[in-house]
Structure 1
Amino acid sequence: MAKRILVVEDNDLNRKLFCDVLRAGGFEVEPVADGEAVLNAARAFTPDLVIMDIQLPGVSGVDLIVAMRRDAGLADTPVLAVTAYAGKGDEERIRDAGANGYLSKPVSIGPFMAAVKNLVG
């Protein structure tokens, strides 16, 4: 059974790239562009991993990670944060919110897939 990955990314090109690379790697993928739809999409899709953009319109990926950690059905789902935020302290703040992994954009495919495989086993 293919591992299921929810890809939360508002940028169309990044979302397509992540989904294409993951599908090529044998994963089942559900893309989400709207941050407001993330929690419902995650509950419906029951992913093995969530790839979370941090800069989303209308809602912060950090807030979504915190909300996932408070949701009984999603609390144990690993989250890989992928963000253009790469300032001092940002990784720590994102990990403190509950992210299991962190990559800064621009993302190279090798490290991206390594991080994904590390989190989904």
Structure 2
Amino acid sequence: MCNILVIEDNPVNMELTVDLLESYGYEVTPAEDGFIALEKVKEKEFDLILLDIQLPKMDGLEVLSRLKEDEATKDIPVIALTAHSMRGDDERFIAAGCIDYISKPIDIHSFKEKIQYHLETSN
């Protein structure tokens, strides 16, 4: 079974994302902010991380930077999640180390396909 870490501060978005992923058969670990997420990756191995870019305390790009600097977590694929999709954002997130980008609100059909694709290609 694939383990996915979801880093999302909005409770409604978190619930939707977790419910969708669990309905696809994945094991999901939620984290409400970057500090919690960085602790969770020390406790468990993840196959994929979904990372909200707009987080309190530590923004998503800082979380991504810390994940990529750590030998233990640098190879975990990360997909950026954001509600603020501006032109060029996807290229910026990819350049920072994300493998893909999903804008919110989530399109549940393309969401499932993207998750499956990245889990298959990263393993």
Using the size of structure 2 for normalisation, the TM-score is 0.93
The 1-side partners of 2:62 and 2:33 are apart by 14
Alignment match, 1:65: 64
Query: Is the contact made by 2:2 and 2:47 (CA closer than 8 Å) also made in structure 1?
Result: yes
Amino acid in the other structure paired with 1:90: D
- Aligned-residue sequence identity (percent) comes to 37
The alpha carbon displacement at 1:112 in A equals 1.0
The alpha carbon displacement at 1:87 in A equals 0.8
Q: Secondary structure at the match of 1:55?
A: coil
Q: Which 10-residue stretch deviates more, 24-33 or 58-67?
A: 58-67
The 2-side partners of 1:16 and 1:45 are apart by 21
Amino acid in the other structure paired with 1:99: C
Amino acid in the other structure paired with 1:115: K
Q: How does 1:7-86 map to 2 (within 5 A)?
A: 7-86=6-85
The 2-side partners of 1:6 and 1:106 are apart by 19
Give the unaligned 5+ runs of structure 1. Answer: none
| Superposed structure 1 runs of 4+ greater than 4 Å apart | none
The 2-side partners of 1:55 and 1:66 are apart by 14
Number of aligned residues = 120
The alpha carbon displacement at 1:9 in A equals 0.4
Give the unaligned 5+ runs of structure 2. Answer: none
The alpha carbon displacement at 1:34 in A equals 2.0
Query: Is the contact made by 1:30 and 1:45 (CA closer than 8 Å) also made in structure 2?
Result: no
The RMSD of aligned alpha carbons is 0.9
Amino acid in the other structure paired with 2:27: E
The alpha carbon displacement at 1:85 in A equals 2.2
